[in-house]
Homo-oligomer: A and B are copies of this chain.
Amino acid sequence: MHMRRPATLASLAAELGVSRTTVSNAYNRPDQLSPELRRRVLETARRLGYPGPDPVARSLRTRKAGAVGLLLTENLSYAFRDPAALGFLEGLSMACEGAGQGLHLVPVNPEREDVAAVHRAGVDGFVVYSVPDDDPHLAAVLSRPVPTVVCDQPRVEGVDRVGIDDRAAMQQLAERLIALGHRRVGVLCMRLARDRHDDFAGTERQQNAHFHVQKARLAGLADAFASVGVNWAEVPVVERFDHSSTCGAAAAAQLLDAEPDLTAVICTSDILALGALTEARRRGLRVPQDLTVTGFDGIAEAERVGLTTVRQPVLDKGKAAGKLLLGAVEHGRPRQIILPTEVMAGSTAAPPRTAEERWFGP
């Protein structure tokens, strides 16, 4: 079977006996030629099966790809499962759509450090969402000569940034718990670095964390509790590499096994918190009377079950990232957008005064 190469703009021009420019104009600048000729061009195009100007060749010439690259550290598919990431994606896609730009999801193999996909992506700019600061993919993006916006990440010299004040938000949440009287708390957090470490994370590991968001949230907690005399180094922090409620439940189990008399479990994400709730229920602990559980993000499921959490505007984060990137030409200087957060009061209670209260009530 003979696979005929599709017609090109040049072959179409030759067939018509006009210049290539004229054919190009027929598609891109209809006012530059007579309606009659344009009709003839388009008709001949249809006859020869010419599909219109090749997008790649056009991109090369115009130096515009018409798409924004999105880099996520996780599997692409993860983004479609984590509600917070999803909200971001939704907001970003709205911004792109509004500007007529495509959204190019860069395939990242989290196992291999294969940065080639970043170099292969024909895009006009990148949005980098929540990757560790030492991620080689991030470095690859920064090496590309296109504008970039980072989100939920530390500031990078000369690069626009979108985020929330994770540290202050978590501190606020902690202060509520402190006001209620909680002093013996434990923490569940997401991965702090690229290596799998499903265990307790000491202060050193916390301070060396490569995920800005997690590091900042832990720091916010440390701020708050240290200010009321709690020795942060003694606060147990359990880390989990994978992010699922199942994982959160397992982490909560590990935490409560080691420290059964905690009065509150603070989680750096709602997903983890939902798992913690499951584990608490499994142990027969009443929430919040026996144990207070808090989350972070403000996902729908969390608000449905009345979890105390920090609501962050994930949709707006995506939109802001898109707008920043797509309007990048106009304004010159790298900018930063910090969006507001809100502590959502869900079910919290003062800590039980004695262990007995867990069983007999106050």
Residues in B whose Cβ lies below 8 Å from that of A116: 100
A55 touches B120 (CB 8 A): yes
Write the A51-78 contact mask toward B (1 if CB under 8 angstroms, else 0): 1111111111000011101000001110
- Identical copies of this chain, number: 2
Per the bound structure, the CA–CA distance linking A58 and B57 in Å amounts to 10
User: Interface size bucket, A side?
Assistant: 35 or more
Knowing A59-B56, A65-B122, say if A90 contacts B94 (CB, 8 Å): no
B76 touches A80 (CB 8 A): no
Per the bound structure, the CA–CA distance linking A59 and B56 in Å amounts to 7
A100 touches B89 (CB 8 A): no
Q: Does A81 contact B (CB under 8 A)?
A: yes
* Smallest Cβ-Cβ distance to A54: which chain B residue: B60
Contact for A103 among B76, B86, B332, CB less than 8 A: B76
Contact for A94 among B6, B75, B86, CB less than 8 A: B75
Per the bound structure, the CA–CA distance linking A100 and B109 in Å amounts to 8
Per the bound structure, the CA–CA distance linking A335 and B94 in Å amounts to 34
Residues in B whose Cβ lies below 8 Å from that of A67: 104, 121-122
B80 touches A105 (CB 8 A): no
Per the bound structure, the CA–CA distance linking A59 and B145 in Å amounts to 17
Q: How many whole Å from A8's CB to the nearest CB in chain B?
A: 11
A107 touches B100 (CB 8 A): yes
Q: Does A96 contact B (CB under 8 A)?
A: yes
Write the A127-169 contact mask toward B (1 if CB under 8 angstroms, else 0): 0000000000000000111000000000000000000000000
Knowing A56-B60, A77-B90, say if A97 contacts B103 (CB, 8 Å): no
Q: Does A258 contact B (CB under 8 A)?
A: no
Contact for A97 among B56, B90, B109, CB less than 8 A: B109
A97 touches B76 (CB 8 A): yes
Contact for A52 among B66, B103, B119, CB less than 8 A: B119
Chain A residues in the interface with B (C-beta under 8 A): 1, 6, 51-60, 65-67, 69, 75-77, 79-81, 86-87, 89-91, 93-94, 96-97, 99-109, 114, 116-117, 119-122, 143-145, 332
A-B contact pairs, 24 of them (CB 8 A): A51-B144, A54-B60, A55-B122, A56-B56, A56-B59, A56-B65, A57-B60, A66-B120, A66-B122, A67-B121, A69-B102, A75-B93, A76-B93, A77-B93, A77-B94, A77-B97, A80-B90, A80-B93, A81-B90, A97-B108, A100-B114, A102-B107, A102-B120, A103-B105
Known: A60-B60, A66-B120, A102-B104. 15 other contacts (CB 8 A): A52-B119, A54-B60, A56-B122, A59-B59, A66-B117, A67-B121, A67-B122, A80-B93, A86-B86, A96-B105, A97-B108, A100-B109, A102-B105, A104-B104, A104-B105
